[in-house]
Chain A
Amino acid sequence: MSSAGPVRGVLLGHGDLAFGMADAVRQITGAGEDVLIPLSNRGLSPETLAQAVQERLGAEPAIVFTDLQSGSCSFVARRLTQQHPQLAVISGANLSLLLEFVMKRELPLSELVPRLLWRGRAAIGCTPAELESDEHRAVSR
């Protein structure tokens, strides 16, 4: 997968989630509205949603961020990777991962995506720490 940054981001979610997360990213980073473009799947068929995502993808490399790994947003986005060789899909997106994207989107996809996955996974924790069982720690490794 070759790439020439900056990478474009499309954030796809249920309800108003994507709009709220994109707003939070802009509030924290001051990123422009075209850096991370939010979309909702509300009331849209898979075909209509795919078309809406397509319209927001340009010629540059892109990442579609989705909320649920087994949701319709993720399915639609994964399907688009067949037509877009410079498109990656990251499901289960959280705010830390999206902030990292905005800061590092000049990197090629091959470096950026692993970094974002690491950041997103590392951002999940709990207090008190002992509630995270050994069994669950083992799963997360």
Chain B
Amino acid sequence: MSIALYRVDERLIHGQVVVGWGNQLHPQRIVVVDDNLASSAWEQELYTMGLPPDLATEFVDVSAARDRLRNWRASGEVVILLTRDIESMRRLGGGGALAGEEVNIGGIHHAPGRHQILPYVFLSRSESEELRALARDGAHVSARDLPGTRRVPLEHLLTPEHGL
């Protein structure tokens, strides 16, 4: 098994990931790819409090993550990889690094300048362009908050009726 889930979620490690996806995928490692968190030990500690002791966690910046993708894929562990924003996932997937992989949009919430697409997905124009770029680099982008809910492909997210 390799990276079982690539997910963009502002909340990073939280109930839907640990319980919802965790019970489906049984991950052994959660990798958080985030330039700021990678250098913030106290925030890392906040995110990992209360996690099951047999679930490993790792915080790396985007550049290091690109170098390590091959290792995680070949590790034999079940890995969930999280970013908190679309830009980080797009940078991770630059040059086709995520070609053929399913990238899950799991939680981008209301903020000024964003349009509501789904109850759990709000996107700005620049974020929609980042998603298109990720798809052009070969990733299969879709939204789904939990394993049992409907998968909404990118082409149904970015439509004129959504202002995108």
Question: Which A residues fall within an 8 A CB radius of B?
Answer: 14, 43-48, 68-72, 74-75, 78-79, 82, 91
**Of B43-51, B66-74, B92-100, B149-157, the one touching chain A:** B43-51
Q: Which of these, A43, A47, A70, A79, contacts B15 with CB under 8 Å?
A: A70
Inter-chain contact B11/A72, CB cutoff 8 Å = yes
DSSP class of A's interface residues: helix, strand, loop or mixed? loop
Q: Is the CB of B47 within 8 A of A75?
A: yes
B87 at interface (Cβ–Cβ under 8 A)?
no
B120 and A43 within 8 A (CB):
yes
Q: Is the CB of A46 within 8 A of B49?
A: no
* Interchain residue pairs A-B with the least CB separation, the first 8: A69-B50, A45-B109, A72-B14, A72-B11, A70-B50, A71-B15, A78-B46, A68-B15
Contacts of B119 in A (CB 8 A): 43
Interface pair B109/A48, CB less than 8 Å apart:
yes
Question: Is there an interface contact between B110 and A45, defined as CB atoms closer than 8 Å?
Answer: yes
Minimum CB–CB distance for B51 against chain A, Å: 5
A45 touches B15 (CB 8 A): no
Please tell me if B82 contacts chain A, counting CB pairs below 8 Å. no
Q: Which residues of A contact B102 (CB under 8 A)?
A: none
CA distance A44 to B119 in the complex (A): 10
Most buried by A among B13, B14, B47: B14
Q: Is the CB of B49 within 8 A of A48?
A: no
Q: Is the CB of A79 within 8 A of B43?
A: yes
Q: Which residues of B contact A74 (CB under 8 A)?
A: 49-50
Q: Which of B15, B50, B111 is within 8 Å of A72, CB to CB?
A: B15
Contact B46 A79 (CB under 8 A): yes
Nearest chain B CB to A77's CB is how many angstroms away? 9
Binary A-proximity of B106-121 (CB < 8 A = 1, otherwise 0) = 0011110000000110
B37 to chain A, nearest CB (A): 11
- Name B120's closest neighbour in chain A (CB-CB): A43
Q: Are A48 and B14 in contact (CB under 8 A)?
A: no
Contact of B49 among A44, A70, A82 (CB under 8 A): A70
A45-B111, A75-B46, A78-B49 as given contacts; A70 in contact with B18, CB under 8 Å: yes
Q: Which residue of B lies closest to A92 (CB)?
A: B50
Taking the closest CB of chain A, its distance from the CB of B48, in whole angstroms, is 8
Residue of B nearest to A76 (CB): B11
In angstroms, Cα B46 to Cα A69, docked, is 10
Partner of B51, one of A43, A70, A72, A91: A70
In the bound assembly, the distance between CA atoms of A70 and B110 in angstroms comes to 22
Judge whether A69 and B11 touch: CB under 8 Å. no
Residues of B within 8 A of A68 (CB): 14-15, 19, 50
